Amino acid sequence: MLKALVEGTDADDSFANRMVDKRYQAFSKAFGYGNQFGARVSRSDFAGSIIAPYKIQKFEIAVGQSDESMRLAMVFVREIGEFAESDSADDSAWFKVLGNPPLRKIFETAFGLPTSFGLLDVDKQRDIFRDKAKKLLGDSSLAAFKDGENVDKMLRTFFVRKQISGNSGAGGAGTTALTLLQNSAAGMASFFQSRL
């Protein structure tokens, strides 16, 4: 941590910038030691800028103690925008999603992927995520999440699949819900066609 603080983030080869986990970079940047403009600790907004994200994360943790799915959804809403706005939203950002446990869980659940999915080659996992995103959102890029409707669609799909998997069992409510969801579009179309 000291190395991340001392070297700062101005240089591309600084310790914090070389780390795969970008939280080191955010940590170093927040304090500003080792950067051109110096430490930020004397600025009037410093304490607030450190405390606000902490409070958000503590709230997410508290929510997660009663409903893990809600915590995951809150993390998704908070973090997906950063991935959507990144220059690498079309390709390498998918690898960052794969390395982010809460986001990965949202995508795996919403896309209906089995727990063994993580055993596949990482390039294959990325390709599957992109294909599934294209089918669900009409766009294989994470930039699709710049649109709030796509964020909502992803979360609705996540919650429906989570509910179904939580109630699964032979003849259970989950099986009934899944059957209804799979047949709803075809059933509605035939109903209206028969009335014409």
Domain-located, residue 158 = yes
pLDDT at residue 53 is higher than 70: yes
Q: Count of CB atoms within 10 A of residue 59's CB?
A: 12
DSSP state of 114: -
> What is the model's pLDDT at position 152?
93
DSSP state of 20: S
Q: Provide the Cα torsion 91, 94, 95, 97; round to 10°.
A: 160
Largest CA distance in the chain: 73
Both 75 and 163 in a single domain? yes
pLDDT at residue 125 is higher than 90: yes
Domain-located, residue 135 = yes
Domains identified in the chain, total number: 2
Residues 13-29 have a mean pLDDT of 80
Both 47 and 90 in a single domain? no
Task: Give the H/E segment covering residue 80.
Answer: helix 68-85
Domain-located, residue 33 = yes
Both 46 and 101 in a single domain? no
Instruction: Determine the structural domain holding residue 32 and report its residue range.
Output: 1-51
Domain-located, residue 57 = no
> What is the model's pLDDT at position 64?
67
DSSP E strands, the chain: none
